[in-house]
Chains A and B, each alone.
Chain A
Amino acid sequence: MRLINKTILYYLLISFPLLIIAGFFSYFLIKGELQDGVDESLAKERLNAIHLINSFSRPQSVNASFDSLSGIKLAKNEKAGEVFSDTSIYDTAEQEFVPYRVLKSYYRSNSNNYLITIAKASFEQEELMEGLLSAFVLIIAFLVAAFFIVNWLISKALWKPFHKTLSELGTYDIRKHDYHKFESVNTAEFNELNIALSKMTEKIHSDFLQQKEFTENASHEMQTPLAIAKANLSLLMQSSNLKEEEMDQLQTIENTLKKLSALNKSLILLTKIENNQFHKKAAIDLKEITVKALENYSDLIQAKNLKIETGFSAGFTIEMNPVLADVLISNLLQNAIRHNKAGGVIQVSSAPNTFSISNSGEPLTIHEEELFVRFKKNDASKDSLGLGLSIVKTIISHYNHTIAYSYTDGKHTFTITHP
């Protein structure tokens, strides 16, 4: 939830009960005031009635003409005091009950007891009350709405630099570092944030450059000593008086050197992909590359007596570097050959949206998540470098595609899908 929406929600949560309480208070306050006014005018009427009684020459009852309640009656009992009450009378003209405020009081004059009843329709007050309340609600609603709109606008303006920083952070690419990205703004907090971010990204960027340079240099620098060792080993092999034991040792050294240089080449390749050094792009159909690669590996496939099953319903095309496409497919196929069992099967299928290579084989001994991690490998294949699938993953991610692994029915499957 956005900060602004959250703030507004909290304001609402707090202001609702407060407004309801305030509404109740004002309702009773206004109602009380209005009633006081009515009661006062009733008391005044009573004084008029008393005047009238005092002016009577003989005891009599008088009915007021304007309603059926008001009037002066002769009463038998002799009570004193006044009682206010509320009642309602059916109005035949309006065809509805109309609220009345009634004052009953007893008065004694010339040894006669009178009951003075004064009634006053209080619908005016009710209407006034309603009018006041709706005005009140309207004002409150308007205030609340205005408050929220203003708050929203202010918040939007205030947080603008922050959102700018956020979107810049979101698009920040360490490979295309731009030093002027986090501009200074006039809100102190955001300015500090931008300064801190600028410093941080510059540091990350320079570390990244150093790291990149180091990997590149280290790998290249290693090639020449490897070449020297390899060349001298070739010369040594030509020696005619080697003992069997020494030949074994030479073989071990040669295999180790081969592994070392393969490792180095793979690391250089990974670094190059990550450093974006394969610029050239073309629409590559992985199906075609696979057909060529299968042809190229036919002797390896035969040596292991593997069966190839292809299901090419359509091509699977990725916009990518042709060299990397070859590397991708050859790594996947070599993986499928290497980790296969003798007489096993390799299935390749291609459709417009998915491309998959699967091979029969024993279940993994490592976790699935570790499959694409550099130097993580299944025990069974000690000779492998543990970089092949990591290169595959790097290439696939470089072109924003996804690769998934699954193991079902004794088959390892790698599936590539478009983003």
Chain B
Amino acid sequence: MKILLIEDEPELRKSIKQYLHQEGYLVESAADFIKASEKAFDYDYSCILIDITLPKGNGLDIVRQLKQRNSKAGIIIISAKNSSDDKITGLDLGADDYLAKPFDLAELNSRIKALIRRRNFDGNKAIVINEITIVPEERAVTVNNQPVILTAREYDLLLFFITNKSRVVSKNAIAEHLWGDESDQMDSHDFIYVHLRNLRKKLSDKGCVDYIQTIYGIGYSFKAS
């Protein structure tokens, strides 16, 4: 699966590229507006990540160009300007998602996966990990073919873990994923633990292996072969 990353900051480009590469994506990148619009025209990507402020042009114009030629690529805007105007303009132009800098790479990964899933590129609507099956369209989870009733937060937490499978996910990244901007004001991660405990219990009640490992000091990791 190919992803085009349009970002002018070399260091950020490098680390995003590295993270997504580890996720198994083929990542192409462009550092300015001209190169970006060339690449966006030349190839078909599953997903294009676009920074708004670019040398030699505005990222929103690339969104316009892509929409004009009916590109099927999913578009995620990544911007340093967390402005509702930019967000609305971007989404109105046809971008699928908007992520404000600074973001967590795990969050970016989960947005890309959610987008690709929605566009159904791999033709398979369910996510299956050993005994766990998730149907994102219905927000339904089954373990060993028995339905598991999860709260909205527990479901989001499980999906976030599975999306970032085998990755170390920090508590801050989880808080940001579950509560968004509101997590800025939270000074404790106790409530993550409460949701996690409930999730673990509901899964193990149906005979699920505990895949969620606690990583000392940092957070958690969903480890499944």
Contact residues in B for A257 (Cβ distance below 8 Å): 102
Contact residues in A for B216 (Cβ distance below 8 Å): 244, 247
Closest to B194 in A: A303
Contact residues in B for A247 (Cβ distance below 8 Å): 215-218
Say how far B138's CB is from chain A's closest CB, in angstroms: 22
- A-B pair count, CB < 8 Å, reads 115
Contact residues in B for A385 (Cβ distance below 8 Å): 184-185
Interface residues on B, range: 35 or more
Render B180-217 as a binary contact track against A, CB cut-off 8 A, 1 for contact: 01101111001100110000000000000000000111
Contact present for A384 and B19 (CB under 8 Å): no
Closest to B175 in A: A258
Closest to A338 in B: B187
Contact present for B15 and A235 (CB under 8 Å): yes
Q: Which of B28-36, B38-46, B58-66, B165-173 forms contacts with chain A?
A: B165-173
Say how far B53's CB is from chain A's closest CB, in angstroms: 9
Q: Which of B78-86, B123-131, B140-148 forms contacts with chain A?
A: B78-86
Contact residues in B for A296 (Cβ distance below 8 Å): 182
Render A242-264 as a binary contact track against B, CB cut-off 8 A, 1 for contact: 00100110110011011001100
A241, CB-defined interface residue at 8 Å: no
Contact residues in A for B173 (Cβ distance below 8 Å): 234
Contact present for B217 and A223 (CB under 8 Å): no
Contact present for B11 and A228 (CB under 8 Å): yes
Contact residues in B for A268 (Cβ distance below 8 Å): 82
Contact residues in A for B11 (Cβ distance below 8 Å): 228, 232
Contact present for B15 and A251 (CB under 8 Å): no
Closest to A299 in B: B191
Contact residues in B for A277 (Cβ distance below 8 Å): 83
What's the Cα separation between A16 and B44 when bound, in Å?
98
Contact residues in B for A338 (Cβ distance below 8 Å): 185, 187
Contact residues in A for B50 (Cβ distance below 8 Å): none
What's the Cα separation between A91 and B155 when bound, in Å?
121
Instruction: Give the residue of A224, A237, A334 whose beta carbon is less than 8 angstroms from that of B80.
Output: A224
Given contacts A234-B104, A299-B191, contact A228 B215 (CB under 8 A): no
What's the Cα separation between A255 and B181 when bound, in Å?
15
Contact residues in B for A238 (Cβ distance below 8 Å): 22, 167-168
Contact present for A303 and B16 (CB under 8 Å): no
Contact present for B218 and A227 (CB under 8 Å): no
Contact residues in B for A237 (Cβ distance below 8 Å): 168, 170, 215, 218-219
Given contacts A300-B186, A381-B187, contact A228 B168 (CB under 8 A): no
Given contacts A223-B101, A254-B172, A262-B184, contact A231 B194 (CB under 8 A): no
B153, CB-defined interface residue at 8 Å: yes
Contact present for B80 and A220 (CB under 8 Å): yes
Instruction: Give the residue of A221, A244, A254, A384 whose beta carbon is less than 8 angstroms from that of B187.
Output: A384
Given contacts A227-B102, A244-B217, contact A323 B15 (CB under 8 A): no
Contact present for B185 and A262 (CB under 8 Å): yes
What's the Cα separation between A66 and B106 when bound, in Å?
131
Contact present for A323 and B84 (CB under 8 Å): yes
Given contacts A228-B15, A247-B216, contact A300 B191 (CB under 8 A): yes
Instruction: Give the residue of B16, B84, B218 whose beta carbon is less than 8 angstroms from that of A250.
Output: B218
Contact present for A224 and B187 (CB under 8 Å): no
Say how far B95's CB is from chain A's closest CB, in angstroms: 18
B121, CB-defined interface residue at 8 Å: no
Interface hits, B1-33 → A, CB 8 Å: 9, 11-12, 15-16, 18-19, 22
What's the Cα separation between A323 and B102 when bound, in Å?
20
Contact present for A224 and B191 (CB under 8 Å): no
Render A39-68 as a binary contact track against B, CB cut-off 8 A, 1 for contact: 000000000000000000000000000000
Render B72-92 as a binary contact track against A, CB cut-off 8 A, 1 for contact: 000000001111100000000
Say how far A223's CB is from chain B's closest CB, in angstroms: 4
B150, CB-defined interface residue at 8 Å: no
Contact residues in A for B219 (Cβ distance below 8 Å): 237
Instruction: Give the residue of A228, A235, A254, A303 whose beta carbon is less than 8 angstroms from that of B191.
Output: A303
Spell out B's residues near A (CB within 8 Å): 9, 11-12, 15-16, 18-19, 22, 80-84, 100-106, 153, 167-168, 170, 172-173, 181-182, 184-187, 190-191, 194-195, 215-219
